[in-house]
Amino acid sequence: MDYHRNYRPCPTFFVEEEYGMESRMRQERQAKQEHDKQMARERQYVMADELSNLTSEQLRDDVLSHMLEMDNQTLPDVESIDIQTEIQWFMRPYLLDFLIEAHTAFQLLPSTLFLAINLLDRYCSKRVVYKRHYQLVGCAALLIAAKYNDKKDRVPTIKELKSMCCSLYDDDMFTQMEWHVLQTLGWSIGHPTVDAFLQHAVLDDAYDPEVEHMALYILEIALFHRDFVAKLSSELARAALALSRCILNRPQPRHTHWSSQYDSMTLVALSQQLHQPSTVVARKYASAHYSRVSKVMEHFLNRQASLATYARCTPPVETPIESKPYNGEIGLATPQKSQQLTAIPHGYLTPPITPDNEALVHAHTQMANHDMNRGMPTVHHGCSSSPVPSAEMQYMNSEAYQQQQEAMYMAQQAALQQFPLAPTHMGMGQTYQGGM
């Protein structure tokens, strides 16, 4: 009994403390293991990126040549689309607005949109499409492009596409059209889109999101026009990139760079289609996600239009040319005679009278008589001979000579008023300003 009376239970706080320490140590070990795994995963990612960059640099030329070859093989035929019986080119903007809105709603990649339009045009190049099925073909092309190129959780479902089409088509029609498009194209879906070439063009440059977004905006505007349907994606990407750099006042790359080898005619054709973009596309690129490049484009076009209007309305300023003595320089001033005759090293002075030439005098007399018979004033053509003075001719005094000169001047002025002469032009369209 004494034993039971003196017995006291052992306190358990030592056991709980030991269990808590073991739990904390276990949590610390687990946290350290997770940290080590995360660090190892980050190192693997860095090594993978380095190997990928090294491989891409070594194989960049091969990849580019393969993309260019596929670009030629997967182009649609515009002439085949021209002979479609029901669908017309004016219907294309309405379908593209619908596809762009659907593409934005599902948050798909930019390459998915360009691939979907390529599949649509290639199908219309090979099959007759009815007007009532045009939107269905576009939805099928968008569905195929999303399955081929985008993330699985972002691929639109048939129910979602049917809802966007206002239940105009049944579920089976989407499936059948998808299969028919794939069969028509021979299950050849891959196509190097313009944004793929754009990424290749800016690979060596510093990241400039505004330039890339402006180029994508220009390329989406080009989707609406027939002239660019059969254009190579590589040409469109380089021309759009050069045009976006011009609009944003960015420097162009060196002439040895691949992106600098753009077609100037394609660039001019793209610049001519920027004035009236689609409202859907302009609203899409007015968001901050795309650097608001549509607003930048609108401001640029308005500034260019105002400069052109100012240039047309403002007359050119002509500065008067002052006559000054000729000092040996080249200009429009009338050369002045020197007081003393100097020897001319490169030729002789023309004598005051030409040698006696009876043939020239006879020809000149006949021409003058012919002009008088026609009622026209006598005009000296060519280098007619001067009359040879007779031996009996005496010099006149100064007063008689001045009267004769004034009479000749008055007669000449009367003839000029009756038959005005055109001004004499000197050189490249400049009017001679000096006197005789």
Q: Specify the higher pLDDT residue, 65 or 349.
A: 65
State the residue range of the domain holding 158.
78-185
Strands (DSSP E) contained in 71-228 are: none
pLDDT in tens, 32-59: 888 888 888 888 888 887 777 666 666 7
Residues 227 and 251 reside in one and the same domain: yes
Residues 131 and 206 reside in one and the same domain: no
Residues 220 and 139 reside in one and the same domain: no
Residues 89 and 178 reside in one and the same domain: yes
Q: What residues pair up with 431 in beta bridges, in sequence order?
A: 425
What per-residue confidence (pLDDT) applies to 64?
Answer: 85
What per-residue confidence (pLDDT) applies to 16?
Answer: 54
Residues 211 and 139 reside in one and the same domain: no
What per-residue confidence (pLDDT) applies to 177?
Answer: 92
Mean pLDDT to the nearest integer, 321-348:
44
Residues 293 and 242 reside in one and the same domain: yes
Domain stop point among 185, 208, 223: 185
**Domain annotation covers residue 249:** yes
> What is the C-alpha to C-alpha distance for residues 125 and 131, in angstroms, rounded to an integer?
15
> Residue 299 in contact with residue 291, Cβ under 8 Å?
no
Q: Which of 272, 228, 276 is nearest to 118 (CA)?
A: 228
**Domain annotation covers residue 255:** yes
**Domain annotation covers residue 171:** yes
Residue 339 has pLDDT above 50, yes or no: no
> What is the C-alpha to C-alpha distance for residues 293 and 284, in angstroms, rounded to an integer?
10
Residue 333 has pLDDT above 60, yes or no: no
The CA-based angle 192-195-200, given to 5 degrees, is 85
Domain stop point among 185, 210, 241: 185
Q: Which residues of 69-84 are buried (b: 16+ CB within 10 A; e: fewer)?
A: eebeebbbebeebeeb
**Domain annotation covers residue 402:** no
To the nearest whole percent, how much of the chain has pLDDT over 90? 23
pLDDT in tens, 95-135: 999 999 999 999 899 999 999 999 999 999 999 889 999 99
pTM: 0.60
Residues 201 and 301 reside in one and the same domain: yes
pLDDT in tens, 66-81: 888 888 889 999 999 9
DSSP state at residue 288: G
**Domain annotation covers residue 73:** no
Mean pLDDT of the chain: 74
Residue 28 has pLDDT above 50, yes or no: yes
What per-residue confidence (pLDDT) applies to 153?
Answer: 86
Phi, psi of 16 (to 5 degrees): -65, -40
Residue 323 has pLDDT above 90, yes or no: no
Residue 277 has pLDDT above 60, yes or no: yes
> What is the C-alpha to C-alpha distance for residues 194 and 208, in angstroms, rounded to an integer?
17
**Domain annotation covers residue 159:** yes
Range in 130-139, 174-183, 334-343, 424-433 the model is least confident about? 424-433
Q: Specify the higher pLDDT residue, 237 or 431.
A: 237
**Domain annotation covers residue 251:** yes
What per-residue confidence (pLDDT) applies to 303?
Answer: 86
Q: What is the tally of structural domains in the chain?
A: 2
Residues 90 and 113 reside in one and the same domain: yes
Residues 157 and 107 reside in one and the same domain: yes
CATH number at residue 257: 1.10.472.10
What per-residue confidence (pLDDT) applies to 400?
Answer: 55
Q: Specify the higher pLDDT residue, 65 or 120.
A: 120
Residues 170 and 253 reside in one and the same domain: no
Residues 91 and 174 reside in one and the same domain: yes
> Residue 139 in contact with residue 120, Cβ under 8 Å?
no
> What is the C-alpha to C-alpha distance for residues 42 and 49, in angstroms, rounded to an integer?
11
Mean pLDDT to the nearest integer, 389-394:
43
In residues, how long is the chain? 436
**Domain annotation covers residue 59:** no
Range in 132-136, 273-277, 367-371 the model is least confident about? 367-371
Domain stop point among 127, 151, 185: 185
Residues 238 and 303 reside in one and the same domain: yes
Mean pLDDT to the nearest integer, 342-360:
42
DSSP state at residue 131: G
> What is the C-alpha to C-alpha distance for residues 161 and 139, in angstroms, rounded to an integer?
7
- pLDDT category at 397 given cuts 50, 70, 90 is very low
- pLDDT category at 378 given cuts 50, 70, 90 is very low
pLDDT in tens, 134-186: 999 999 999 999 999 888 888 999 999 988 888 888 888 999 999 999 999 98
- pLDDT category at 21 given cuts 50, 70, 90 is confident
pLDDT in tens, 295-310: 998 888 888 888 877 7
> What is the C-alpha to C-alpha distance for residues 207 and 198, in angstroms, rounded to an integer?
12
